[in-house]
Structure 1
């Protein structure tokens, strides 16, 4: 029998370093479109805080095409690596492409949660790209499975969004953490 950890996969170098740097620069160059999210905004996230920006409609540096091609490629690799048959639905419908920044100092984090509930129950896979490396802290921790994924530039983390995959974004210590995330939708 396959355990739950089998369906948590990472792919190093999924996005080129230069592309990741461009996404971070785009985020930082447009503070008027950055919004605070977490406990001060959303119920149930009292211990969470981060800045985010929706880049779904951003057209610069071929952003959307690069992300969609990467997503299709690694969705297929994920299905193969996990032995998923028949294949999951095509990745045609996506949730927004959101960049998040977690600042060091302890306040920015994402408390243990899962990603498919209520109004977002149509999600079936999480795609989370780390846009920079963090030497200390900032791991994505699957709190019930004793698994941690360390932020490394360009690394992609894929996993199911359901309650068995409760995870947390730990506070970065040595510097800010940037991620880009989306979800494939049923």
Structure 2
């Protein structure tokens, strides 16, 4: 894992941190998993259900308990790297440790975009009672994208171009409203989900 300096426009800080996960061959394995498991692929849905006017993707949704199932070993490898990024994120913002010492992984998505597709609507990852448990968002781009497909954070006028292995963590809050810009050429694969406050024992 190699920490990167996320481009920062005039507003600083933006609390978006980035890394390149290593080895980047993990990304190839996650794409292979997506393409091999066609029966698990579904049109992308949001909290409000299927709405291609808002989100136009093909997803595989995976619950945390499924990570340990036979054939899903690649997720254990990926999250080992992601949790290193998460620990580094907490080291950058020590105050977060005073909020909670325990976090847990939520459901997560493997997603594929083809030309013309994107997450069209600017949105936030914590937007109601049902999502209050989310504290961080994570996303890893699994391939280099030929044209388009960037992620746009509207409040910061920040556009991030997909790059294989590039991993982002940011707060799941209205301050980090974002959308996916239209993919113009090639395919775009990502893995994305949430790190949540731990449930009460």
Partner of 2:121: 111
Give the Cα separation in 2 of the matches to 1:157 and 1:45: 25
- Name structure 2 gaps, 5 residues minimum: 1-10
Q: Pick from 19, 37, 44 the counterpart of residue 11 of structure 1.
A: 19
Partner of 2:79: 68
Asked whether 1:85 is paired with 2:92, we answer: no
Q: What is the Cα deviation at residue 71 of structure 1?
A: 2.4
> Contact 1:50 / 1:100 at 8 angstroms: preserved in 2?
yes
Give the Cα separation in 2 of the matches to 1:43 and 1:84: 38
What TM-score comes out, normalization by structure 1 length?
0.85
> Contact 2:40 / 2:60 at 8 angstroms: preserved in 1?
yes
Q: Pick from 172, 176, 194 the counterpart of residue 165 of structure 1.
A: 176
> Contact 2:26 / 2:78 at 8 angstroms: preserved in 1?
no
Structure 1: 4+ residue segments shifted above 6 A: none
- Name structure 1 gaps, 5 residues minimum: none
Partner of 2:149: 138
Give the Cα separation in 1 of the matches to 2:180 and 2:71: 28
Partner of 2:4: none
Q: Pick from 55, 58, 67 the counterpart of residue 51 of structure 1.
A: 58
The secondary structure found in structure 2 opposite 1:98 is: strand
Seen in structure 2, the aligned counterparts of structure 1 residues 177 and 140 have a Cα distance that, compared at 3 Å, is same
User: Over aligned residues, Cα RMSD in angstroms?
Assistant: 2.3
> Contact 2:29 / 2:74 at 8 angstroms: preserved in 1?
no
> Contact 1:102 / 1:109 at 8 angstroms: preserved in 2?
no
Partner of 2:164: 153
